[in-house]
Chain A
Amino acid sequence: MARFIVRRIFWAIFLFFVATIVTYLIFWVIPADPARLAAGKAASTADIERVRHYLHLDRPIWWQYLFFLKNLVLHQSLGRSFVNRQPVRYLIGQDAPVTASLVIGAAIFWLSLSIPIGVLSALRPRSVLDRLSMTFVLVGISAHPVWIGLILSYVFGYKLHLTPIAGYCNFFPGTPGAECEGPIAWAYHMVLPWITFMILYMALYVRLVRASVMDTVNEDYVRTARAKGASETRVMLQHVLRNCLLPVITIFGMDLGLALGGAVFTETIFNLPGLGHEVIQAYGNDDLPMITGIVVFATVCIIVANLIVDIAYGLVDPRIKTR
């Protein structure tokens, strides 16, 4: 087991290097000059060179990358934003809870809704509920989150005044100058983003659960359990749900890591100051340290999540750790 864990950790470190090097290389070939942007509209050539030196952009890319690694390892620093010179670690630390609010909140909803709907659809195939849920699946997978978000905020926020149109409130009170804060205001402002974000995933999970349950209920061990006189509750909880949720858990772990991509749309539409929103702004400003910082953070999150899943699988399934 120890060898398996060590191997996985080395693999995670290798992935980290690959992701950060690729990010640096991509930025290197983009035709942009952050020094010129930072120097202002009337800067002389000497001024731009001074700014370039200040930002270390006059050094070779390998030097910049090693400097970045050195700061990361020795000082846990991700550098400073080219745009406002704030520490990237601080900005990410500020944005990450917002994205976590969106992703984790939406995940709770999509799991809470998709599992029962998927199970009911599987138990009553071609019933009205099943047909409705499959229609929802089709719409959920086809409709873009931007469109869904705009429609929801227009109908429920602007027309019906049931929710805010956009905006974010901190969960914890005490933010200076905040117009709204606290768990209630936070949840109220997150309702539409959660719904927008969860629809695609919920559609996918309904279909996944439905297919999984339909397969599982016909398994021999389910029939055996019933033959042995187990109650329906026990059969469902112990034999059907437990087994059909295994692929759901696997996919769920991966989806949480990939959620940053989806969060970009939802955060933009609802003005949520999260990582997805930040990465769009950073891209527009050629803010390499910010983009690299977010990539590093997302990479670490995905690597850690996968590492935990791998280790957990190794513990659960002896066949995996012996490979």
Chain B
Amino acid sequence: MRTKQVLSLFMLVGGVGLLVAALAVGGAASGTLRPGSAEALKGGTLRLVEANSDLDYVDPGLAYRTDDWTMLYAVQMLLVNFPEKSGTAGSQLYPEAATAFPTVSKDGKTYTFHIRPGLKFSDGSPVTAAAFQRAWERNLSPKMGSPLGVNDGFQYVIQGAQDFLAGKAQHISGITAKGLTLTFHLTKPNPTFVSYLSMQWFGAVKPNMPYSSSGLQTFPSAGPYYISSRTPGRSTVLKRNPYYKGSRPANPDQITFQPDVDQDQALLQTKAGEIDLDIGTVPPTAAADLGSQYGINKGRFFVGSTSCVSYLTLNTARPPFNDTTLRKSVNYAIDRPALLRVLGKYAGKRTDQVLVPGIPGYQPYNIYAIAGANVPKAKQVGGSAIGSAATINVVHANTPSQTNRAQIIEYNLKQAGYNATDVSTPATTYYETIGTKGTTYGVALAGWCADYFDPYDYINVLLDGRSIQQTNNVDLAFFDNAALNKQMDAAADLSGDARAAAYAKLDKEIMQKYAPWVPYYIASNRYFVSSRVKNWIYSSYLGEPYINALSVG
């Protein structure tokens, strides 16, 4: 019996010993993983993670998501770009690879850029006009299978692009590249064109960068960094471009990115200094504690506004919201602060506008009840039409956040005298459901973030009724007003201050006279950084910090 016990104890000790050994050797190894303490502005490795998500592509011909573009911003050189500055200054385009803004022909259809001499890719080869020509061709090539450029209608913007997209031409005839001179021939005047060029799809790529329908993982680039390695689902590593001589910051020696981490664990790791930043933002429930513990924008916890407007879209194609007075009434009935509170503290700023701060033409106004529901006013505006209004289907995705908000909306509508019912839809088919012509929703939750910093990307894209198609609409309100459509066309043809003024007028007129939406908040992103991160500069365009500017020295 004694032998049995000795044998068993031996095995038990062996098992425990294995665990202890792993801990012991691990403890010794941990010293190499601790963050450094040097105070230098440059140097070190910035360790980024993203909760519950991964970059889908880093190939600029395919990348589209915000996180893709955050990475690409650090590696790309664009003809025109946004500077690494916070606030409004950060939303003013400047010529980056171009020597100046383009010269535009009298008919407004030819844009000519001159590329700065001496620019180089990370492999040492020169950046010429052909680099930007290739970027456009990779975006529109049928060999890439990219839906992106096509989605924004770029094939209609440049002469010869439709033939190229259809595989009928080797090159886009409307783009000519000679040495350092790049010329675009547009199909019609387009004041938004320069804004298009600020998108990451159109950064310099090597003129021989191959077409790849699955996207390249690494490639030479001309910005402050280049992607030195990438394994989808595992890691992406950016290293400083040794040939970059521009003025943009390139503070960390290296930037590492790990995707698909757990959000709560990432917060814990950031507090402990194991990682530096979760670019997927902090857990909503942690925001209040972080704010009170570290303060807002005081070194560790940051809140930054985005270009994303969240709104309730009202189905103007069917009763009851084909009646303008009821749409206005609902704008008074909805409790905007309550909808925002569901998303945790510092989730955004209340609004009743289509445009967001930073977009040319944004002028703050306050027409409806942004301080809370104004039920008497809602009843007064709606009048007797409320009582006879058809039951409103409040359609939402079956996520906890949307379900909570839908319940508030339903309550607000009933408070104002409407009949409303909550309709839950699978998240995967939500936009398909509300974006199909003939849909029976009354109120639905929606949101929009800018692809480029121009009011056209909000007002014309989302509210021009001529874009309504059978399925997959972005004009989710099915709002179609001939007079407004004309005004949108006119505003789109303007430039400079006149353009901004025209869009400001449209923004107000749409909400004041027609109210196809109930805009309720402009989203903010909430970030928490490790104690060694400095030099936080936030881009409200990207909705992310400029990672190349962050310092871990």
Contact = CB atoms under 8 A, between A and B. Distances in A.
Task: Bin chain A's interface residue count.
Answer: 35 or more
Given A45-B470, A167-B274, A273-B234, A84 B57 contact: yes
Contact of B12 (A116, A163, A284): A116
Contacts of B29: 180, 182, 184-185, 188
Contacts of A48: 471-472
A177 B25 contact: no
Contacts of A43: 147, 150-151, 472
B274 A112 contact: no
Nearest to B236: A177
B151 A39 contact: yes
B232 A154 contact: no
Interface in A184-218: 184-185, 187-191, 194-195
B228 A176 contact: yes
Contacts of A113: 12, 15-16
A32 B426 contact: yes
A284 B260 CA distance: 12
Given A86-B232, A154-B268, A120 B12 contact: yes
Contacts of A154: 268
Interface in A40-87: 40-45, 47-48, 50-51, 54, 80, 83-86
A177 B235 contact: yes
A123 B56 contact: no
A108 to B, nearest CB: 7
Interface in A1-49: 30-33, 36-45, 47-48
Interface stretch (B1-9, B386-394, B481-489): B1-9
Contacts of B256: 177, 179
Contacts of B214: 80, 84-86
A262 interface: no
B19 interface: yes
B213 interface: yes
A191 B228 contact: no
Contacts of B269: 165-167
A32 to B, nearest CB: 4
Contacts of B293: none
Between A43, A180, A237, the greatest number of chain B beta carbons within 10 A of the residue's beta carbon is seen for: A43
B233 A44 contact: no
A312 interface: no
Contacts of B7: 116, 119, 233, 236-237
A278 interface: yes
Interface in B415-452: 426, 428-429, 431-432
B27 interface: yes
A157 B33 CA distance: 13
A233 B3 contact: yes
Interface string A258-275: 000000000011110100
B147 A47 contact: yes
Between B29, B33, B236, the greatest number of chain A beta carbons within 10 A of the residue's beta carbon is seen for: B29
A161 B271 CA distance: 12
B262 A166 contact: yes
A286 interface: yes
Given A180-B29, A184-B28, 16 more contacts: A44-B150, A80-B214, A85-B62, A86-B214, A94-B231, A119-B11, A150-B264, A163-B23, A166-B262, A166-B266, A185-B29, A185-B33, A232-B4, A269-B262, A271-B261, A281-B54
The 5 closest A-B pairs by CB, nearest first: A188-B26, A177-B237, A112-B15, A176-B229, A116-B11
26 contacts: A31-B429, A36-B431, A42-B152, A43-B150, A44-B151, A51-B145, A54-B145, A84-B57, A85-B57, A108-B18, A113-B15, A113-B16, A119-B7, A123-B4, A164-B33, A165-B272, A166-B274, A167-B269, A177-B237, A177-B256, A184-B25, A185-B29, A188-B27, A188-B29, A268-B262, A271-B262
